[in-house]
Chain A
């Protein structure tokens, strides 16, 4: 599941004009790494919501910005499992 999410994440970032060449699971999504600013983070969340059927809350974007790629994928996978179970 995580690999599928990672692949989707990287494809989305490319569409959003971000270079993923140097990104790996340890890359932080926000300014400290991939440098996604607030609206880009919101767009990424929207794309993930649309594709994996999960739901994020308004105040979570800042939290996601501090996550690494690996942590974000794990979180999406966790929510997707819950969404599927319910």
Chain B
């Protein structure tokens, strides 16, 4: 096992909490983050159910003069990055050369704020558009804001691979660290899609869960009665370091990043390949990259959004890869909803914590497993298990597939 990259910090903003232990406890206990949008929320009356994150005052993370036209996705990213750096106990400039730190922070950008400004443009013409709009919404601005706030001067980028972008950011960070281009990478994803136009886009594409009188039952990965995903918002940021650098500075290592794989379906803009072939290949590439075999994976956190086609394709892919060496599998989106690209980082954090605590979270609402999703499901209650390596899958519109493998820091 090659352990050249270490996870030393985690920062989360999610519908079930901001501290990783709080999030992990929620997914283990089934404390749902799914709610009917309240009257003062933009999605009230637009969708039946949503996964709404905690309010974060923009002025708490961004200078007040610049915080009036900044999208929530950027605010959540800066908050999560600050928490991750604090968790890692690292100060840029004191503990590491600012030019040896990179940022890879992804997401679709500030579409809600852009939509608001489009309305103002229609109403008031040119004068309705804020000069602060672009720095408030561009997809690279989460990375830029983090770099500005924390004085990070190395490589920065943003991946645009939709719901695979969180996993992709971790993979890209791993690549940067392995190449020796940086000692530390702040990586992750942030998404704030809870506004009417975006929700209607998913709803009209028949991708959203609907018709559930109890909102907490709407997200049902791998269940026979599933009928779509629950749109959510959140951010997840990890601090990754070259393992020797982390250990030399005395950092607490939460896990090692062992390998990753990425493939494309080359099939359809939104529908996954039914045979799951490319998703399976991303898992195989990750295993080879990590120098592991299927039997080494002790838990798999599935992408499992709760759509008919997506869950079936992923289950087919997992069965194709693991066969009889099937690890326990769960999707934690039954509790968190689908935070799009941010899910990949939140779920990687959950998988890491599962490994550290020896406790595997169940798939919430998986009452009647779909025979087409025949997996080694963890359901009902969290399951105790000693685990040395875990896999996290993230798949996105466009046919992007990413699998990341983490290993125990004690292993």
Contact = CB atoms under 8 A, between A and B. Distances in A.
Interface of A: 16-18, 39-40, 42-43, 46, 49-50
B57 to A, nearest CB: 13
12 contacts: A16-B65, A16-B68, A17-B64, A17-B67, A17-B68, A18-B65, A39-B66, A39-B131, A39-B135, A42-B131, A43-B132, A46-B130
Contact of A49 (B64, B68, B127, B132): B127
A40 B65 contact: yes
B66 to A, nearest CB: 8
The residue in B67, B130, B135 that gathers the most chain A C-beta atoms within 10 A of its C-beta is B130
Given A16-B68, A39-B135, A43-B130, 19 more contacts: A16-B65, A17-B64, A17-B65, A17-B67, A17-B68, A18-B65, A39-B66, A39-B131, A39-B132, A40-B65, A42-B131, A43-B131, A43-B132, A46-B127, A46-B130, A46-B131, A49-B127, A50-B124, A50-B127
Contacts of B65: 16-18, 40
Contacts, number: 22
Q: What's the dominant secondary structure at chain A's contact region? A: helix
A46 B131 CA distance: 8
A55 to B, nearest CB: 11
Interface residues of B, number: 11
Interface string B173-200: 0000000000000000000000000000
Interface string B110-143: 0000000000000010010011100100000000
B128 to A, nearest CB: 9
A49 to B, nearest CB: 6
Nearest to A49: B127
Nearest to A61: B131
Contacts of A49: 127
Contacts of A17: 64-65, 67-68
A43 B132 CA distance: 8
Nearest to B135: A39
Contacts of A42: 131
Contacts of A18: 65
Nearest to B124: A50
Nearest to A16: B65
Contacts of A40: 65
A63 B132 CA distance: 20
A46 B129 CA distance: 9
Nearest to B132: A39
A32 to B, nearest CB: 17
Nearest to A44: B131
Interface string B53-70: 000000000001111100
Contacts of B124: 50
Contacts of B67: 17
A46 to B, nearest CB: 6
A40 B135 CA distance: 12
A43 B69 CA distance: 12
A71 B367 CA distance: 72
B362 to A, nearest CB: 46
Contacts of B127: 46, 49-50
The residue in B64, B65, B127 that gathers the most chain A C-beta atoms within 10 A of its C-beta is B65
CB-CB nearest 10 A-B residue pairs: A42-B131, A50-B127, A17-B64, A17-B65, A39-B131, A43-B131, A39-B132, A46-B127, A16-B65, A40-B65
